[in-house]
Amino acid sequence: MKKGSSGQNGARGGRAGTRQGFRSRDDKPARKASPTKPRSGKTADKTRSEAPLGERPIAKAPARPSAEAPRRPTRAAAKAAAQETLATGVQTLVVEPDEADMRVDRFLVARFPQLAFTHIQRIVRKGELRVDGKRAQPNDRLEAGQKVRIPPLKLDQPKLVARSAVRDQSDRDFLKSITLYEDKDVLIINKPMGLAVQGGSGTTRHVDQLLESMRDDEGQRPRLVHRLDKDTAGCLVIAKTRFAASTMAKSFRSRTTRKIYWALVAGVPRVRQGRVSTYLAKEGDEGDARMRVAKHGDEGASHALTYYAVVETAAQKLAWMSLKPVTGRTHQLRAHAAHIGHPIVGDPKYFDIENWELPGGIQNKLHLLARRIVIAHPRTGKPIDVTAPLPPHMQQSFNLLGFDTSRYDPIVDAPED
């Protein structure tokens, strides 16, 4: 595993700490007891009660269980089996201790893996889901013991197509080919540009779907801990157990996880090293939403903080920047780069410089890489330090511009506050 380089010219500030189809049961109608051929003692109580008194079969005494009788299912197996069926009425679920600090939408994914993620988002967005009687947002965090009211789940959702062993093996092989780090609790992949992390309108292949191929014998699957934009390449952390998901989610939430991004931006910032602190709010429809710089107190506005440093420049035309987000808002780095007048090259949403010409040989693709991540291991607490290589289009651009990626990254030791 390649780690970030270090050197002499560190940035000012303190040292950074180390810082987630239902299968219809196809229930067959109960077979009515025959008055001429009474059934054995295994006849369901419901069947017996529906038969006329004179025609009820006489139940035999239950046989003493033999040594070969099947054991009662384990709690985990029973829970997994319960997930096979979707409830059709209102139900209330209690958040278990190992589900604490999970996002509301990820909680629903874990409890109802058969439902499409878009359907889950729609339930939350419409306010049909309540947590302790209050409306919840998809990114709200749950606490152990909270009661989550689930609305009737529509049975007209499309059934999941049975996964083939060949497809599962193909997906596992692909994930293995982009794996940067893996143990029994944690998986960190080098997400390619263009591969979405989660499903959405028109998205059929994404990381969350690929993780279906890694379900264990009890039906548990790896869980996403954070997200990257579809066109952002680089380090993506995935938890392989529920315990790891809960622990690492807290690490992201408490901002003890260190994240370093590389970007190629238009122009060269006058201040070579600094910080961008704004409030960001989402605007536009879900499919075409973007973040705008807002004022404190504006509806939906959240504080966003990014440290940056210019690593190298190309004739005042382009700059290689190292970015360190302290907060984790949607499109934060892309919106902040545009806000200081140096949007990221190839950004279709935030690049707003008129009459700007892309230098020859550089592809018009988003030049943003989640270069490095340092996160505490959920069990040992020791730091996992992973670095992702440049994606092909960024490597091509860096080669054309003569940028040396072996240089020291000055943002590594940037302050955290």
Active site residue ranges:
229
Residues 186/377, Cβ–Cβ less than 8 Å: yes
Question: Which residues lie below 8 Å from residue 333, measured CB to CB, with a gap of 6+?
Answer: 261, 263, 306, 323, 325, 344, 368
Q: What is the residue whose two structure tokens read 């409830």?
A: 87
Dist. CA 328–CA 325, nearest whole Å: 7
Dist. CA 42–CA 17, nearest whole Å: 63
Q: What is the residue whose two structure tokens read 């003692």?
A: 41
Q: What angle in degrees, to the nearest 10, is found between the helix axes of 117-125 and 104-111?
A: 130
Dist. CA 184–CA 172, nearest whole Å: 15
Q: What is the residue whose two structure tokens read 């289009």?
A: 393
Dist. CA 301–CA 294, nearest whole Å: 6
Question: Does an H or E element contain 209, and which?
Answer: helix 207-210
| Residues 77-88: b if buried by 16+ CB within 10 A, e if exposed | eeebeebeebee
CB atoms within 10 A of CB 89: 8
> Which DSSP letter does residue 389 get?
P
Handedness of CA 41, 47, 49, 51 (dihedral sign): negative
